[in-house]
Amino acid sequence: MIEKQISLPLRRTSDAVKGFLEKNTPARLKNLPISAPGSDVGLALAVAALLSILVIPLPTFILDVGLSLSVTLSVLVLMVALFLSKPLDFTSFPTLLLLTTLLRLSLEVATTRLILSHGHEGTYAAGYVVAAFGGFLMGGDVVIGAILFSILLVVNFMVITKGSGRIAEVSARFSLDAMPGKQMAIDAELSSGAISDKIARQKRKDLQEESGFYGAMDGAAKFVRGDAIASLIITAINIVGGLAIGIGRHGMSVTDAAAAFTTLTIGDGLVSQIPALLVSTAAGIVVTKGGTEGAADVALVRQLGGNYKPLALASGVAMVLAIMPGLPALPFIALSGAAGFAAWWRYRTPVKSDDFEDDTISLPENNSAMELPISESLRVDLLRLELGFNLLSIASGEEARLTEQIKILRRTIASEMGFILPPVRIQDNLNLSADSYALRIREIEVGEGEVQINRLLAMNPKGGLPNLPGVETKEPAFGLPALWIDQTFRERALLEGYTVVDPASVIVTHLTEMVRENMSELLSYTETQKLLDEMPREQQKLIVDLIPSQVSISIIQRILQSLLAERISIRDLSGILEAVQEGCGQGLKSVSSLTAHVRTRLARQISAAVTTPEGYIPIITLSPDWEVEWSDHLSGAVDDAHLGLSPSRMKQLTVQLRHALSTALEQGETPVILVAAAFRRPMRLLIERIRPHTMVLSQSEISSRAKVKTIAVIQ
């Protein structure tokens, strides 16, 4: 049996490089405390220091430290972006982008102040970092430096920043538009049992973080564009202002003023644009990683070199370029050889299936193909739906109607019966025929059926088979005669008054009946604890007074199970607990006696549940002769009585009950068996063999305001 967990991607764990990256990338930081002691104060002081740079003159040494920090920090941000596994591992990037932009602008203001006030003093007026960028990178030529600065500015502003900003904008829009669908998919997976509550909470958290991240990146991209524009304006101001101050105030010649101030200004522009370019590149890498898992280098190598054919073609093109006249042959020959060797190597060693991430799970041919942890073998599913191969399409994919209907079923059960149905675990079972399914509760099969995936099930509400062409069958939940008809006959069947349902609805209807028949088994100790924990705060005092001083949680569980076994809603849990507390005060100890007392307190609820739309309760009662005979043959306490009738009399009673119930059903009635309180338990045990759905009530469980109508008396 191969378990199919819907929409859970397989994770590649054998790649040594990825293993190294997972240990050394910021993903690990997510496991650290959100804020270390004093970190919030440190960040506030750092921001205050950045703002103070705008108004306080800095000595050249401090300025050199700040510029060095800007360059180093930008390199760090770029390296982190390269080794990210996914964008959500760096959710603080928009904030960091704003802070680095503020750092660069503050340093530009500080260098501008030094250049304009001390630029006439020499090359190192604005510090050694600006002088190095202005001298070494420009090669001593102001024109070369100006051109280089302009190129960096255009590349940053027009190419990288604009592209990454557009990607962030589209990603934010698409992420917001897709959020409702993704939330519904998570809810559907949770309701179907494909994922646990913990995984569902994590997925919802990731979804919120993803939407907020791309929205923040959309706005953060504007910071980088504004930084580029500000750098251009500041550079122009420095050149014009420097020439004016040098010539007008310090009496410098035009040539000397241009050489001094322009060199420092271009150096300042380069020392700000290079970090800006690195951070912009990091932003582009982060937003373009949307659908790629793993570090960028690993993904590029895997995807570019995953197929030998492109490598072989690239090798051939490089060789053609090598033999063309006028082109240097050696570089192209070397590249052609490298690409050719890579193509040959890839051809000799094909990519293994686990070298690629895949969001789908292929079905192995036998159980040994998938190694599961030993702990999985010990796991017992409370509720499981096993599907044949042909039925998997209705449980996954874009039209997963089955999971959506199971989600509705869980809400319905919660609303009607008052407890949350455990997740329905869906898995494939290769031992089933392709069109079959099986329902299991605690690993025990409680129902099975067969559906035809490309047909519709048609039933005649009046009984008998529909007058349509199709394949005869029986509806699996109630055993009614039905037909599997072609989908083209849907409109005709509806016009003729037949009931038409799709395969997913057939399975869910069957599942619903099995759940209702076995609700008591599905209410575990853990679920009982959850029900108590989720009660309103004002009712918690009742729980504290009752549990564990008077009864244990296991006693409460057994009482609730007894009610659910007879399809009595436990939604009024506070009323049930009050009745239990009242019963304990009267000296009741056993589960059966407490349950009987609770049922009496729930008389109005029980009466309302069995009242017909016409406003009465149809009942079947015992004749006085039967009541006398029952009284003579009862043994044990009232709440635990046993009936000791002879087999012949028991058979006679069973025949009469079966006849009375059948007659009532033919008349369109859903009768209730009404007996004395002492007879209720023995009658319930008897009715379970005949028609388990029939309610058996004692006279004290009928509300005084309810109207009853006797439709049969067992003579």
CATH assignment at residue 616: 3.40.50.12790
Is 112 in the same domain as 218? yes
Residue type, 686: L
Lowest-pLDDT range, 137-141, 416-420, 651-655, 673-677? 137-141
CATH number of the domain encompassing residue 578: 1.10.8.540
Contact predicate 32/26, CB 8 Å: no
- Give me the pLDDT at residue 332, please: 77
Lowest-pLDDT range, 163-172, 522-531, 640-649, 667-676? 163-172
Is 293 in the same domain as 335? no
Is 316 in the same domain as 435? no
In this structure, the strands spanning 672-675 and 617-622 are: parallel
- 434 within a domain of the structure (yes/no): yes
Is 538 in the same domain as 579? yes
CATH number of the domain encompassing residue 417: 3.40.30.60
Position of tokens 């490298």?
338
| Per-residue pLDDT at 139 exceeds 50 | yes
| Per-residue pLDDT at 357 exceeds 70 | no
Of the three residues 271, 297, 323, the one that is the final residue of a domain is 297
More confident site: 208 or 69: 69
Of the three residues 272, 297, 322, the one that is the final residue of a domain is 297
Alpha carbon distance 106, 51 (integer Å): 7
Q: Which of 538, 530, 537 is nearest to 556 (CA)?
A: 530
Q: How many CB atoms lie within 10 A of CB 476?
A: 23
- 397 within a domain of the structure (yes/no): yes
Lowest-pLDDT range, 99-113, 346-360, 515-529? 346-360
Is 678 in the same domain as 534? no
Is 273 in the same domain as 203? yes
Alpha carbon distance 62, 60 (integer Å): 6
Q: How would residue 175 be classed by pLDDT, with cut points 50, 70 and 90? A: low
Residue type, 158: M
Is 453 in the same domain as 309? no
Alpha carbon distance 240, 404 (integer Å): 68
- Give me the pLDDT at residue 359, please: 36
Percentage of the chain exceeding pLDDT 70: 80
- Give me the pLDDT at residue 64, please: 83
Domain of residue 535: give its range. 523-601
More confident site: 703 or 146: 703
- 4 within a domain of the structure (yes/no): no
- 31 within a domain of the structure (yes/no): no
pLDDT digits (tens, 9 = 90+) for 582-619: 888 888 888 888 888 888 888 888 888 888 888 888 88
Distances (CA, A) of 329 to 310, 322, 333: 21, 4, 6
pLDDT digits (tens, 9 = 90+) for 250-305: 777 777 777 777 777 777 777 777 888 888 888 878 777 765 555 555 666 666 66
Is 264 in the same domain as 202? yes
Name the helix (H) or strand (E) containing 415. helix 401-417
- 677 within a domain of the structure (yes/no): yes
Mean pLDDT value across the chain: 76
- 37 within a domain of the structure (yes/no): no
| Per-residue pLDDT at 28 exceeds 50 | no
Rounded to 5°, angle at Cα 384 from 381 and 388 = 135
Q: Which residues pair with 456 in a beta bridge?
A: 485
Is 503 in the same domain as 570? no
Is 405 in the same domain as 499? yes
Residues 6+ apart with CB under 8 A from 89: 25, 26, 27, 30
- 2 within a domain of the structure (yes/no): no
- Give me the pLDDT at residue 223, please: 73
Residues 6+ apart with CB under 8 A from 143: none
Is 218 in the same domain as 347? no
- Provide the number of structural domains found in the chain: 5
Query: pTM, whole model, 2 decimals?
Result: 0.51
Alpha carbon distance 598, 580 (integer Å): 6
Is 432 in the same domain as 323? no
- 39 within a domain of the structure (yes/no): no
Q: How would residue 49 be classed by pLDDT, with cut points 50, 70 and 90? A: confident
